[in-house]
Structure 1
């Protein structure tokens, strides 16, 4: 496993976005699970597979590679990860997105069980000299009480007669259990999209509403759309808004106050209606991330008062707790249970903190010189367990206490009860859970 400290932020962002089943979005990176998806019993013909929640170990002798598109253009020359993964896990299936299709792969056998494509022609073909996969992770949500995979594609809507052609976003809804496309929904884009190369991402979902973000790669332009998954239908849109988090029935992110994406302010909108709930001070480098089922992490630079990094109430934007100064610029990952794991370069060294997302209180931190303990490089956290690496190999920590647990053998970037996705030598590997 080769993963630099800088690149762990990307890996975690992928986990935040990709593991969100009914809640907050994160690629990426990249989530919170305020509600569990309904359990679906396997078909009688399906073999029973062991599940472990959370996994303590992985069967290192039984790995299968993910499709090459899962890692295309996301590795540095040194073989480290430098962008979020376009992958979501659901039970024994890995959903791998590209700008032209989404594949469903069995993590136990490596067999591609389904392929979903948009009805129209994708704008980016994925062919040619630039083979980087620019897609973000699909979003796992619940629609009509059914686990559904949401994936947006930027496509061409061909004109006819006097009707002009347009670039639009086609959102697909796919059954997480069968891999079959259920519906397609078209989103019309703002005028700026006609002269740009927009990218589309599924940010998060809650209470049957999903948020799709459309933006340019340079962040000069962005728009957000609210999708009623039970329709499906578009229920609202907000231009000049870089949505980045869904939590507490709120979508939060950065309002773009100029035409070049520099002047920004944090803001939150009602998830059901798109109505603005609050906005913060004018500044730059603004971002909002989910920090549990009912909290936001809001950070950026206020032109009047300098940098800020805080936990906030999603409905009001009210400050709940200022994060420790050591965590400025760090990445935070909710373990989908009770603890917010934050990590990055502190004032003197790489640090890891375990926080109570409700109060912001520090439960534990590493390094701990008194206990002669170092800080591991975190890869992900899930259901009370934290995964990472040190020079001694793969490690696991108790998310509540920070205490060492037996080594999981590998350090997954994504994990569920059936498999862990691990960065190998220039490829992604799925390892079944074994304990």
Structure 2
């Protein structure tokens, strides 16, 4: 496998994984004028958007067709060969081939790995029992939706984004919900103490039982599962869902001799240790200038990674990058975060800690806005994203003044 034809530009590109990063990369290839062959390989039935799985899809408000990442015509429109329901099982860089699970081979001058991650299983006795579910794929969501019937005793382990959203959906579906989370409040590094506390309190207000503990083991009982916590509490469950993060399978990358460490190690161009193999999205860990490795596990980052990797593979200037941004919906409120709220800088609140809407901002010692989070205040986050990107130093009094339209921050 070599990076390509004349001028070092690959003619035949294979993208493994049709999630947000993979689709974004293909869009970028074509928008930058690449006219060669693009093959997209994915184990699923179609590319779909993952965030709705724990919310609208789980609630039955939308179906698979409504969460498509791209319409069916997109592949023909962009001259992309989709190999659906197929998995890449081996990269053969020296031969310029990608081997699939059906024994076929796809020629490639360059490969982008965008295979994403898998849900982390609970590492305790009984954590792998059949009734202990995760939520990562459409099939996971379908199976979970069938189990979350009115009156079912649902135990959600993990109070992060996925766990909180599943707990919210389960209550809405009429389940009796218990949320087990050892850290109170969860999400504090992502949204700050004030918003994390408000969000965690909403679980109780929605009727969810909160258990501040770890899970020691899970046992099978007659027609139910028994959860045993580290402190010795016991309670029965008809369905158990774990939301404790993700991990990245490394067989494909490791078999190709790529450098890995809970993911594929890449440089700022998203190039792996092989010059013709790149990685983007959840599967990639970028080596930063100080040598540390970082993975950004959210939708916007995956899209940005895919676009960056595609530009680098074609030898084109890298697209501009935006600050990290994520969102979540639970209990009827909308949560957003942008930038970095873990800096220990000056904290500014917009609103009261015990009411909505509420936004928080972190400022550096020199006044620059570093991060922001908000509940039901999307205009504040939209303005904050622009301020962070510009390296701006907004007036803290204006940030805190709820009578000021956030657009006014941009004019200062």
> What TM bracket, shorter-length normalisation?
under 0.3
Q: What is the TM-score of this pair, normalised by structure 1?
A: 0.25
Higher helix proportion = 2
Between structures 1 and 2, the one with greater strand share: 1
TM-score (norm 2): 0.26
